[in-house]
Amino acid sequence: MCAQSKTIPGQSLFKWVFLLILFSFMMTGCTDGPDTSDSTSDEPKKPRIALVMKSLANEFFSTMAEGARTHQAAHADQYELLVDGIKDERDVSRQVQLIEEMMVQQVDAIVIAPADSKSLVTACRRAQEQGIVVINIDNKLDAEVLTQQKISIPFVGPDNKAGAKEVGDYLAGKLAEGDEVALLEGIPTAYNAQQRKAGFMESIEAAGLNLVSSQSAQWEMDRANQVAGDIMTQQPGLKAFFCSNDSMALGTLAAVRSADKLGQVQIVGFDNINAVQEAIKAGNILATADQHGDQLAVFGIEYALEILESGGTPDDKETPVDLVTQESLAASQAAE
């Protein structure tokens, strides 16, 4: 049989007084003692820049991210870098989440290659309202939506329409008037997809080519393989594909090879990834556009640092885009 405990008068009061004194002592120690995080760091706080990418499964964007990491390593005393991206080119909601995660981490700037030109604007506005500098690279945000949301976000990137027209003109020069051609588009709501389509269309119309099909393959290699195969089945006289990025050009190349039409159906792309460079050297793809992907994110980061330092109001900044052909690759290799 257990003895019942008895409460001694005043014992509870003594207990609470003791705990109160102990708590006060602990709080005094926390607030008045040395703050090692401040007192031991005499270095100025480095800005933290977040790079929010599209699909890192796409070689073009993984190259872009790697270029940014290399730049940060060479300028580690100037800024910190956080890099993240989505797995699927169409996963807009995940990109919105990434922006919100960077806001929670209180970064100083976000450099973003948006998966969609319209859907990302609201998240970017919220970041700006938190005092974060936002720089838009690769795919330009929609000007009308930016105006509706009463914000301005500078775009750093190439003239996609001019680049596509240059590639298209090169392809058109290899074809005859009236030849049947097809266009594989990117995501229709993406500004760079619209601009590349516009550039290719100018070439097609100027050369008097016969556009028999224009479809979106969503920037994806597998999708392009399927779409290109279907188009060749329906249009056996087809002479060429204009592909709005290199991933789709590679998917199209696989379809052309499967159809045993290598050399009969020409292909051009846009991005200048390594696999397409090799295909150009082998004569299986005719040309692409080099928008200097390894430097594109760096251009955005450097602009973000400039704005953080100056506090100025930024404008858009155009970056170079160049035609890449078998001849230009040979000349570049000879010059090395």
For residue 105, is pLDDT > 60? yes
Q: What is the largest CA-CA distance in the chain?
A: 107
Q: Do the domain assignments include residue 307?
A: yes
Name the β-bridge partners of 184.
215, 243
What pLDDT sits at residue 57? 81
pLDDT at 169: 98
Domain match, 284 and 164 both: yes
Write down the pLDDT at residue 8: 41
Q: Is 258 among the domain residues?
A: yes
- Judge whether residue 31 has pLDDT over 60: no
How high is the mean pLDDT of the chain? Answer: 88
Nearest partner of 99 among 116, 124, 117, 79, judged by Cα: 124
Percent of the chain with pLDDT over 70: 87
292-327 tens-digit pLDDT: 988 999 999 999 999 999 987 778 999 999 999 999
* Residue 38: pLDDT over 90: no
Specify if 119 maps to a domain.
yes
Residues 210 and 240 in one domain: yes
Mean of the pLDDT values across residues 224-244? 98
- 46-60, 177-191, 211-225, 229-243, range with the lowest pLDDT: 46-60
* Per-residue confidence band for 222, with pLDDT thresholds at 50, 70 and 90: very high
Asked whether the predicted pLDDT for residue 5 surpasses 70, the reply is no
66 & 114 share domain: yes
Q: Tell whether 257 and 232 lie within a shared domain.
A: yes
Residue 40, domain member (yes or no): no
- Is 15 part of a structural domain of the chain? no
183 and 191 Cβ atoms separated by less than 8 Å? no
Identify the pLDDT of residue 219: 93
Contact present, 267 and 256 (Cβ < 8 Å): yes
Q: Does one domain contain both 285 and 165? A: yes
Residue 227 in domain: yes
User: Checking DSSP bridges between strand 287-290 and strand 322-325, what pairing results, if any?
Assistant: antiparallel
pTM above 0.75, yes or no: yes
Domain assignment present for residue 196? The answer is yes
List Cα–Cα distances, 9 to 19, 22, 282, in angstroms.
18, 22, 96
- pLDDT band at 335, cuts 50/70/90? confident
Residues 175 and 83 in one domain: no
Which long-range CB contacts under 8 A does 150-153 form with residues at least 24 apart? 151/121, 151/124, 151/125, 152/313, 153/121, 153/124, 153/128
197 shares a domain with 139: no
Mean pLDDT of 144-151: 95
Tally Cβ neighbours within 10 Å of residue 2: 4
Average pLDDT over residues 51-66: 88
User: Are 207 and 114 members of one domain?
Assistant: no
Flag whether pLDDT at 232 surpasses 60: yes
The answer to whether residue 73 is domain-embedded is yes
pLDDT at residue number 127: 98
Same domain flag for 219 and 121: no
- The confidence score (pLDDT) of residue 267 equals 98
The Cα–Cα gap between 161 and 163 comes to 5
The strand pairing partners of 185, in sequence order, are 216
Residues 109 and 76 in one domain: yes
CB 281 within 8 A of CB 326: yes
Domain with 73, as residue range(s), is 48-157+293-318
Predicted pLDDT at 41: 56
- CATH number, domain at 91? 3.40.50.2300
Average pLDDT (263-279) is 96
* Together in a domain, 111 and 189: no
Q: What is the reported pLDDT for 88?
A: 81
Tell me the one-letter amino acid at 104. Answer: V
3-state secondary structure labels for all residues of 172-192:
HCCCCCCCEEEEEECCCCCHH
Kindly state whether residues 57 and 146 are assigned to the same domain: yes
**Total domain count, the chain:** 2
